[in-house]
Structure 1
Amino acid sequence: MPEALWISFAFALGLLVKGVGLPPLVGYLAAGFLLSGLSAVTGLAIEATDALGHIAHLGVLLLLFTVGLKLKLKSIVSPEVIGGSLLHFAITCVIFAPGLYLLMDLSWQTALMLAIALSFSSTVLAAKVLESKRELRAFHGRVAIGILIMQDLIALVVMSLAAGQTPSQWALIVFGLPLLRPLLFRLLDASGHDELLVLLGLLLALVLGGYGFESVGLSSELGALIFGAILANHPRSQELSKSLWSVKEMFLVGFFLQIGIGGLPDQQSLIFAIVAALVLPLKGLLFFFLLLAFRLRARSGFLSSLALTNYSEFGLIVASVALPDWLVPLAISVAISFVISAPLNRFAHAIFERYAAGLSRFEGQKHHPDEQPLSVGNTRVLIMGMGRTGTAAYDWVAKHETDLMGLDSDPAKALKHQEQGRNVVFADAEDASFWHGLHMPAVHSVILSLGDIEGKLIAARMLRKLGFRGYIVAHTMYPDEAHQIREAGANEAYLTMDETGVALASHIIHRAEPSPD
């Protein structure tokens, strides 16, 4: 059975490369090439069947659907994200396309499509690297993810144009899809947290988005992305994305296997991949200087650029539509870039610290508003995280203490609090550069009301590392997390629902006795 060989080789090679610190998809590509070589040597009929092709296509649709779920305007509407991604795309195409045309004797169309494919960076690798270091919410992490989302949108436009599909008159229905948002929100609320949630994601991504758009002459990839984007602002959009993660990853294994089984690389493919690897540092340097041009500090620009210094699986998806003959050389280029990028990103902070003096010379005099150094002055009580809990804590403390300050990692939220009269400034507790510049001589108490457990753990550890000996208190939903927060350095971590019950009961105990009337 070919399916048994696919699964066995994919698992073995994926486990092998994971053991040396590389993304498993490098192993999946290698498994495909190994199966192709085995077929050539033994004469066994090991080829990409229709079933594998369908699995690969479903993986691409699910990938685009999950990208759509993250497509929030606030994550991409910033000068450094929009400007950085568009300028990098344009400059890369302007440089790479003529170079490929002249050096490889290609047609202009092929050279341009190859340049476009090489301009993208890997969403999968960057997201996994940043997540493993708990830096997805840090400033440089948000910049990198925003640029990746912009690149994904560009890739989708290129794929739609390359496919050359002619829409039917029914395609106009697409403009009415936003009207379905309330219905889709209700379906998402009603789906619970188990298998119905996964089935809803599959229904929207594969049936309505994929097959539905194909039926009216539109790109199925566009349909998957649009249905994901419709749900992006729902509070449970990320839960839906996580529930589909394993299904999407499993189907994408088929996509990478299909590329490898398609044929062994020839000499031209290997030369192309080696040249692509040699020019890979230029891609990172271009990102670095573009981000500095948008007033980022050298540290943030370097960390964001290093996360983007690789070639993308989206380039392979574009090539599968527009350049099927170039899938193998592009696949090898992507694999080699992962081999280079993954170890570098693992030691990104240490690399920057070593070369900080030289890299910082390229900084501009005026920094990005998100990157201003922070001193809390005479603040005595510091509240980290100004969501509903942090805001309630701030307002209560303000009745007894005038020297207090709130910090939040969302600049828009910080500005809104300022407009409402609260002393709140931007600061990202998960960003190492924030702690390097923190000066808090008068603070005696810190309330950790950050939204996720990792932020609270990082804040507690860094406060103690900086020598803070005051009182640190936090809240959490689960007893095991409360234990972790105390271990990280907090004096106390209270359970949110327990504290809610105590607060409700206090209203009864302390209220005035009602009059007989």
Structure 2
Amino acid sequence: MPEALWISFAFTLGLIVKAVGLPPLVGYLAAGFALSGLATVTPLAVENTDVLDHLAHLGVLLLLFTVGLKLKLRSILSPEVIGGGLLHFTISCSLFTPGIYLLLDTDWSTSLLLAIALSFSSTVLAAKVLESKRELRAFHGRVAIGILIMQDLIALVVMSIAAGKTPSIWALGVFLLPLLRPLLYRLLDASGHDELLVLLGLLLALVLGGLGFEAVGLSSELGALVFGAMLANHPRAVELSKSLWSVKEMFLVGFFLQIGIGGLPDQQALVFAIAVALLLPLKGGLFFFLLLAFRLRARSGFLTSLSLANYSEFGLIVASVALPEWLVPLAIAVSLSFVISAPINRVAHTLYERYSGALSRFQADRHHPDEQPISLGDTRILVMGMGRTGSAAYDRLMDSEPRIMGLDSDPAKAHMHLKAGRNVVFADGEDTTFWEALHMPRVEAVVLAMSDIESKIIAARMLRNRGFDGFIIAHTMFADEAEKIKEAGANEAYLTMNETGVALASHIDDYLQADATTGGTRG
């Protein structure tokens, strides 16, 4: 059965590339090409590909729905997102179109459509990489996703024009969707925490968002994103996203397999793919300098541009509608950009840490919302990462020490804490320039409560490199990670689940001691 081959190849090659430090999605791409090569020997390998196409499409819809769940529309409507996205698209098309026309001997309309397809960046890859690093809500993550949404909207317009179709009059009903938000909130509240929650996510992403938008002549991808964004402000949006995680991941394997199974390239397609892959640094560099022009700091611009330095699956969709003869060369170019971009993004913070001196020379000396504090004043205790764990630690410590400050890499979350009365500001502990400028004369203890291991290691190392000799404490889920955090400079790194058990046991002790003092009379 073809499904058995898909699963076997995907698991085997995914495991191999993971063992060498690459994201498993690179292995899934390789599995697709291996299956395509196997198809030259036996058709069994890729028969019934309609099933794989459908699974891949469902994976993309679920990914975009979960991206929408983490979006704040206010963060998208910003100059760097709108201006940076539109300017990059315009400049890319202006440069790519005449180059393709002259080098490939195509007509102007084909050259323009190819240039448009190559101007887009991959929503699937960028969102997956940012999500795996827990950076979707970080400043640079939200800028990247905002620009990708701008590009996706442009792609939808191009596809509609190229296909000669226009949305139906019923598409205007989309503007009334915000009126459904109270009903969606009630459904989410009533769905509980088990399988009904998963089914609600599937209903909204695939049925109402996917099929619903298609029925009125709009993109199903846009529909999934919109329905996710409508729930982004609900307190249980994160729980809904986590409940869909395993389903989404399985379907996305089909997406990456589908790209490779599309067919083995000929020599001309390979030359085209390699040539445009060599242009990826120019694509990323253009993003970097445009974002600096909108007053972003070098670090934010660098991390955002690396997320966008690839080619898009939307380019393949545009090609399937308008340029079917270019579908295989573009598929190879997109796949190759994934192979290049994924491992580079995995070490993005390390790269910036190494080249921050050279890159920071290009940033402007003007204030921007991603600017970070340069002094902590009389703060004695610093809590880095204001999620559930960090917030709980902050509130507990606030009882005994009012001179406490929280830092978080999500400006929206920092603003939420400020409104709740906590002293929290935006700052990213992985940013070397933040540590270089920071003045922390009275800090005696630091709590590392960020969500990912890399952030904690960098923060602990930077604190010690600055000569901080106070107490550093962190938490993590795994013993090997705890050792790495302590090697970086932390005094203690506790295992989260162990500490939860200790806390529960302490409550029992308190109960038994109170019961003993009352002579066992409590009932």
TM over 0.5, yes or no? yes
SS in 2 for 1:98: helix
8 A contact 1:23–1:338 mirrored in 2: no
| Structure-2 separation of matches of 1:190 and 1:235 | 13
Give the C-alpha shift of residue 287 in structure 1.
1.3
Unmatched segments (≥5 aa) in structure 2: 515-523
Residues in 1 aligned to 2:197 and 2:317: alpha-carbon distance in whole angstroms = 27
Q: Partner residue of 1:15?
A: 15
**Structure 1, 265-274 or 77-86: larger mean CA deviation:** 77-86
Q: State the one-letter code of the partner of 2:243.
A: S
Counterpart for residue 144 of structure 1: 144
Query: Deviation of residue 128 (structure 1)?
Result: 4.5
* Distance in 1 of aligned mates of 2:232 and 2:459: 29
**Is the alpha carbon distance of 1:364 and 1:201 closer, same or farther for their aligned partners in structure 2, counting shifts above 3 Å?**
same
Counterpart contact for 2:483–2:493, Cα < 8 Å: no
CA distance in 2, matches of 1:314, 1:178: 26
For the pair 1:316 / 2:294, whether they are aligned, the reply is no
Note if contact 1:464-1:489 (Cα within 8 Å) is conserved in structure 2: no
What is the SS of the residue equivalent to 1:21?
A: coil
What are the equivalent positions in structure 2 for 1:396-415 lying under 5 Å apart? Answer: 405-411=405-411
Q: Determine the C-alpha separation between the residues in 1 that align with 2:238 and 2:418.
A: 29
Correspondence for 1:288: 288
Superposition deviation, residue 439 in structure 1: 1.9
Equivalent-residue separation in structure 1 for 2:458 and 2:355 (angstroms): 25
Cα deviation, residue 211, structure 1:
2.3
Rounded to whole Å, the distance in 2 between the matches of 1:258 and 1:346 is: 23
Distance of aligned partners of 1:463 and 1:248 in 2 relative to their CA distance in 1, 3 Å threshold: same
Distance (Å, rounded) in 1 between the aligned partners of 2:69 and 2:213: 18
- Residue 40 of structure 1 aligns to a residue whose secondary structure is coil
* 1:313-392 mapped onto 2 (5 Å cutoff): 313-372=313-372, 374-382=374-382, 384=384
Query: Relative to 1, partners in 2 of residues 1:390 and 1:232: Cα closer, same or farther, differing over 3 Å?
Result: same
Contact 2:2–2:44 under 8 Å retained in 1: no
8 A contact 2:384–2:450 mirrored in 1: no
- Answering whether residue 234 of structure 2 is matched by residue 234 of structure 1, we say yes
The residue type equivalent to 1:92 in the other structure is S
Which amino acid in 2 is paired with 1:335? Answer: S
Q: Which residue of 2 aligns with 1:441?
A: 441
126 and 45 in structure 1: CA distance in 2 versus 1, 3 angstrom threshold: closer
Is the Cα–Cα contact under 8 Å of residues 117 and 318 in structure 1 kept in the other structure?
yes
Please tell me whether the aligned partners of residues 386 and 407 of structure 1 are also in contact (alpha carbons under 8 angstroms): yes
Deviations 1:442-471 (A, max 9, x none): 2235566x5747677865665456443445
CA distance in structure 2 between the partners assigned to 1:260 and 1:485 by the alignment: 37
* CA deviation profile, 1:237-287 (whole Å, cap 9, x unmatched): 233223323323333333444444443212221111011112111111111
| Contact 1:138–1:431 under 8 Å retained in 2 | no
**1-structure distance, mates of 2:269, 2:178:** 44
Say if 1:48 and 1:258, in contact at 8 Å, map to a contact too.
no
Q: Is the 8 A contact 1:316 1:331 kept in 2?
A: yes
State the partner residue of 1:225: 225
1:214 aligns with 2:214: yes
Q: 1:205-257 CA distances to partner (integer Å, 9 max, x unpaired)?
A: 22222223333443333322222222222222233223323323333333444
How far apart are 1:293 and its partner, in Å? 1.3
Label 1:314 to 1:111 Cα distance change in 2 as closer, same or farther (>3 A): same
Distance 1:336 1:204, change over 3 A: same
2:427 maps to 427
1:22-421 aligned at under 5 Å gives the runs: 22-42=22-42, 46-47=46-47, 49-130=49-130, 135-136=135-136, 138-372=138-372, 374-382=374-382, 384=384, 405-411=405-411
> Does the 8 Å contact 2:140/2:301 carry over to 1?
yes
| TM-score w.r.t. length of structure 1 | 0.80
Matched to 1:75, the amino acid is: S
Distance 1:120 1:433 in 2: 30
Q: Number of aligned pairs?
A: 500
SS of residue matched to 2:84:
helix
Instruction: Report the AA paired with residue 207 of structure 2.
Output: V
Whichever residue aligns with residue 331 of structure 2, its letter is: A
* Residue range with higher mean Cα deviation, 19-28 or 67-76: 19-28
Q: 1:71·1:149 contact (CA, 8 Å) conserved in 2? A: no
Cα deviation, 1:88-121, whole Å, max 9, x if unaligned, reads 1221111112222232233333322322222222
**Structure 1 residues 378 and 19, CA, compared in 2 at 3 Å: closer, same or farther?**
closer
Answer whether contact 1:384 1:407 (CA < 8 A) is retained. yes
Q: Residue 520 of structure 2 corresponds to which residue in structure 1?
A: none
What's the TM-score, normalizing by structure 2?
A: 0.79
Q: Which amino acid aligns with 1:489?
A: N
Alignment RMSD (CA, Å): 4.1
